[in-house]
Structure 1
């Protein structure tokens, strides 16, 4: 691994000696390392079992978020696009800091500001990943079209392949997907979304400055992003208050929230199994009986 790291650092012009390499947390999918050279500190991810564009998708997402000048992200220094089975790496600046009293408020305000960066269609022009699951994307004229055909239906089909759906669950899920226009807005704002914003994908940097990490970007309904933040926790009340003050959520948010959480629950059902099945069933029972 040290040799691979050295090769990456040479690509960005850091030819100084490596003084420390240590494995750090944050490597559920990838190996993660703190790397210090004589001139700089880096955070590096590595993996041999991902598609060639795995780290490119993450780097592109961080760059796009950074270009909004709303919320901080780690600066990407280098990534490669290896052949299948060869080591892939992503090198970023090392970010360190600690939460301060106003960090959650800053996070809420700046996320809302990021969501004001909009385009005229829904989706994305490249594939990304949700965890290790490939996420195919295309541009769609309506949000319901994108959410049905590129989010819910592919997860349903994958769940069938993995035998995660009994007949009753499968029928109700298919019915809900077919009737999606009854609950999901057709044309909300097509906002830049982080796309995988759970509590482990934001952190505090210098002076408590919030940073977003590990994006799976998409352009879509901001309520989709906020719904996921509520699914597993990790976002305190001042975050939501600050977001609402900057960009109020629609009146029907509580009605659409479970449907947006359904996508992430299906992802977890496919990744981790039946532990998430009862949560899927509760949402299906609410909307299609």
Structure 2
């Protein structure tokens, strides 16, 4: 942590920091554990990040916490110049015997704490990519206009997507109202729920981190959870016991994995295009 960032963190927290340790594992941000006033704190930052990056992440964490469904790290401070976020330290633990059930039931409770509509009052980010949350009247419109189409355009500008991929995605856009499943109210989404964004606290309970929140279809979170694995069948069973899933939800999983797959194309390159095309082949 450089002197400028350290000074900004100390101003925001209202005291000197010490016992600082660099943390490994982040793909996007730098992170540290430190002490301030006898309390351990988690801080993350990224050089060159948009000034609003951690402000909107803080808003997202608070928005999730409002549902009182699953534990979310408490926001202590954030800054824009330089950009950083300070959160309560979550002491790592091991999953307790009821972890999977608690996660499934808690996620159902989170989704049931419905927002006002499909979208959000402000834009935010998924990883380092901008995420437009301008509300739409219905879910299929939102999913195409605010999720798939913007990622397609980013990939085209980077030379990663060709005319063939555009044609396939536009074919999908034409039938999205039929492919998106039964109409449902918007759910309060984490928005980037892979296993790396799920922590385990000292009591063995699940903790949500690094969200990309908005009001959307609840199957978005479930599809992301299945994209890279790490979640047991019991999580989904427990979810379904609390908030039963609509028929065909498993068949819609590839549809809702298209967004994170396109995000990965734009973050990490064309190696993820094969996954995009495989998902498209299962929904067209």
Q: Scaled by the length of structure 2, what TM-score is found?
A: 0.94
Corresponding position of 1:34: 33
The CA RMSD over aligned residues, in Å, is: 1.6
What secondary structure is seen at the aligned counterpart in 1 of 2:212?
coil
Gaps of 5+ in 1: none
Distance 1:32 1:97 in 2: 15
Gaps of 5+ in 2: none
Corresponding position of 2:130: 134
Aligned-residue offset at 1:255: 2.6
Distance 1:280 1:213 in 2: 26
Corresponding position of 2:83: 88
Q: Scaled by the length of structure 1, what TM-score is found?
A: 0.93
Aligned-residue offset at 1:230: 0.4
Corresponding position of 1:262: 258
Q: Contact conserved, 2:12 with 2:78, CA < 8 A, in 1?
A: no
Corresponding position of 2:74: 75
Distance 2:107 2:229 in 1: 16
Aligned-residue offset at 1:227: 0.8
Distance 1:105 1:250 in 2: 20
Corresponding position of 2:242: 246
How do 1:19-30 and structure 2 match up within 5 A?
19-30=18-29
Aligned-residue offset at 1:131: 1.2
Corresponding position of 1:101: 97
Corresponding position of 1:144: 140
Distance 2:239 2:210 in 1: 21
Aligned-residue offset at 1:278: 1.4
Moved segments of 4+, more than 6 Å: none
Distance 1:32 1:59 in 2: 16
How many correspondences in the alignment?
282
Corresponding position of 1:111: 107
Corresponding position of 1:153: 149
